[in-house]
Amino acid sequence: MIVSSRCDGLFVDINDTLYCSMPDRNQVVKRSLNDPLTTSNHVAAGTGTEGSDSDKFQSPGGIFVDVNLDLYVTDCGNNRVQLFQLGESNGTTVAGSESQNPTITLDCPNGIVLDADKYLFIVDLGNSRIVGSDLNGFRCLVGCYGEGSRSNRLAFPFIFSFDRSGNILVTDQGNHRIQKFSVINDSFALSFNQPKFCPTATWNSDGITFADHSIVGQGPAAIFVNTNKTIYVVNGDDNTILIWHEESVNPTDIIPGNFTDPSSLFVTSNGDIYIDDTYKNRRVLKWIAETNIFVAVMNVRSLCAGLFVDINDTLYCSMSNRNQVVKRSLNDPLTTSNHVAAGAGTDGSDPDELDSPGGIFVDVNLDLYVTDCGNDRVQLFQLGEFSGTTVAGSESFNPTIELWCPNGIVLDAEKYLFIVDYNNHRIVGSSLNGFRCLVGCYGEGSQSNQLNFPYSFSFDRSGNIFVTDEENHRIQKFEYLEELCDVRSSPHDVLYKVSSFQSSFRMSFGIRG
């Protein structure tokens, strides 16, 4: 093949057709290797002029042609991936902010591979990472800690390839090396429940008192329900963590600790418990399940109204008194190595500001959701962005509900939001039709269908809601009424599985430097 530009991507399809993506010409050309003329090139995609229309490119890079002869092209300058179906000159954006279902923002994507189920895996060159897709959209896979030279970082990666076991080998340009990221089978499992609900999901409006004041003490705030039906609640009166296993009526374990009036806790899949101890001691503690001891894992300057540990073992704390969310990698030995995740540190209502942030949730794309109590809204901060987007509240893009100091927050399997509307004494949830009240819809009170300043909540694996009802000094359980669904759709925990070539594996990568 003779071309008039360098080839940033090469591919040979199942019919022995050779493709070249020419970034300087904004075009992809091809020729049959069965044709003896090396100059017999044909246009596969792109008009040859720079642009962002569906038939144009701005510096195309990596290419992939599937068995249907559909062509995927990374369009670096437009921060997108384009799909050109066989015979079509107009592409469809399948990844990037302009795609039909945007779940990730790209910065000059380059290398690209499809797996056996046609899920996309992309080198996000400008963000120095590799991202991958599954049923639930895109998420970061490797290089998720920012640009750098450590073993868990990349610096302007260019292309990558899977080996037959699913391990990733990537050219790490800025570090002048080839990095191998090993797949660890069955290592990735969420500790919390993200049920999938039917479109008409309904909960019993009358709650059941799961635990009252005699068990949980005054004003319970922190609760967590894991995927094994284990329930964790903090009793702030006697500084203990109460644990219920498998439908038990009374706590089966009680863990005493040297903490004071905690507001939040998070439990990881191995049973380790992270608990807020900032009221007096300005720290976050970790109870290690294997050794039954507490250690300090984060030092902070304010109350942690929300705690979260993401899929990359990064710990987040929402500092309500500092109007900021901070984070640190739990793989970093320094407990003071905090970085700003969101918020300018001054109260305000601009997109980069927060006013008394509370509950937080980090999805598998590492996008951060923050309940912004003082601004009566929920803010979404996409990975690497410090300017948030309002996704719930009167100032949101499609306002369907007004909030008054939202606090606890959970996303379900389909990324619908469920929010504790603290000062309205209720829990609200979203669906295709916007937000609606789910429980506590009869005003403030102490009846079984009422709440009084609910603080946080968690789903169990069946979709039931467990909520800390602060001023009623109780834990309420609201049962999910699956039998009322128009379309039966049992809630289930989400396993993020992808198939690679002949085998299935869960996408979580270890590192070999």
What percentage of the chain exceeds 70 in pLDDT? Answer: 93
No. of helices (H) and no. of strands (E), the chain: 1, 42
Is residue 149 left, alpha or beta, with left meaning phi > 0 and alpha meaning psi from -120 to 50? alpha
Q: Is the pLDDT of residue 331 over 90?
A: no
Least Cα distance to 343 among 310, 308, 298, 374 occurs for 374
pLDDT of residue 184: 60
Question: What pLDDT, in 10s, does the model give residues 439-482?
Answer: 999 999 999 999 999 999 999 999 999 999 999 999 999 999 99
Burial 293-315 (b: 16+ CB within 10 A, else e): ebeebbbbebbbbbbbbbbbebb
Cα gap 171→161, rounded to integer Å: 9
Element (H, E) at 216: helix 213-216
Least Cα distance to 285 among 249, 267, 261, 259 occurs for 259
Longest dimension (CA), the chain: 86
Cα gap 451→455, rounded to integer Å: 10
- Which whole number is the average pLDDT over 158-187? 87
- Does 365 or 70 have the greater pLDDT score? 70
Q: Is the pLDDT of residue 322 over 80?
A: yes
Q: Is the pLDDT of residue 40 over 90?
A: no
Question: What pLDDT, in 10s, does the model give residues 1-15?
Answer: 999 899 999 999 999
Residue 297 near residue 304 (C-beta atoms within 8 A) = no
Cα gap 50→439, rounded to integer Å: 53
- Which whole number is the average pLDDT over 87-116? 90
The angle formed by the CA atoms of residues 402, 204 and 451, to the nearest 5 degrees, is: 50
Cα gap 168→178, rounded to integer Å: 10
pLDDT of residue 491: 47
Write down the residue that tokens 């300018």 correspond to: 344
Q: How many CB atoms lie within 10 A of CB 127?
A: 25
Cα gap 283→268, rounded to integer Å: 18
Q: Is the pLDDT of residue 512 over 70?
A: no
Residue 354 near residue 362 (C-beta atoms within 8 A) = no
Q: Is the pLDDT of residue 507 over 70?
A: no
Q: Is the pLDDT of residue 48 over 60?
A: yes
Q: How many CB atoms lie within 10 A of CB 87?
A: 7
* Of the candidate ranges 285-294, 297-306, 332-341, the one whose mean pLDDT is the lowest: 332-341
- Which whole number is the average pLDDT over 82-104? 89
- Which whole number is the average pLDDT over 430-439? 92
pLDDT of residue 136: 75
- Which whole number is the average pLDDT over 135-143? 85
Question: What pLDDT, in 10s, does the model give residues 380-427?
Answer: 998 889 999 999 998 888 777 999 999 999 999 888 999 999 999 999
All structural domains of the chain, each given as residue ranges with its CATH number in brackets, are 9-181 (2.120.10.30), 202-484 (2.120.10.30)
pLDDT of residue 486: 65
Q: Is the pLDDT of residue 499 over 70?
A: no
Q: Is the pLDDT of residue 253 over 90?
A: yes
Cα gap 131→366, rounded to integer Å: 11
Cα gap 305→470, rounded to integer Å: 14
DSSP string, 144-175: TT-S-SSTT--SSEEEEEE-TTS-EEEEEGGG
- Which whole number is the average pLDDT over 262-272? 94
What percentage of the chain exceeds 90 in pLDDT? Answer: 75
Cα gap 149→176, rounded to integer Å: 10
**Pairing, β 9-12 against β 71-75:** unpaired
* Tokens found for residue 325: 């969310």
Burial 89-117 (b: 16+ CB within 10 A, else e): eebebebbeebeeebbbbebbbbbbbbee
> Residue 264: pLDDT band by 50, 70, 90 thresholds?
very high
**Average pLDDT over all residues of the chain:** 90
Length of the chain equals 513
Q: How many CB atoms lie within 10 A of CB 66?
A: 14
- Which whole number is the average pLDDT over 114-140? 92
Residue 33 near residue 17 (C-beta atoms within 8 A) = yes
Cα gap 297→505, rounded to integer Å: 31
- Does 501 or 129 have the greater pLDDT score? 129
> Residue 432: pLDDT band by 50, 70, 90 thresholds?
confident
Q: Is the pLDDT of residue 247 over 70?
A: yes
The answer for residues whose C-beta is within 8 angstroms of residue 156's C-beta and 6 or more apart is: 125, 126, 128, 147, 172, 173, 174
Question: What pLDDT, in 10s, does the model give residues 356-375?
Answer: 999 999 998 889 999 999 99
3-state secondary structure of 416: coil
Q: Which pTM value belongs to this model?
A: 0.65
Q: Is the pLDDT of residue 41 over 70?
A: yes
pLDDT of residue 362: 95
Least Cα distance to 317 among 367, 350, 357, 268 occurs for 357
Cα gap 108→112, rounded to integer Å: 12
- Does 500 or 201 have the greater pLDDT score? 201
DSSP β-bridge partners for residue 457 = 467
pLDDT of residue 25: 96
Write down the residue that tokens 């945007």 correspond to: 102
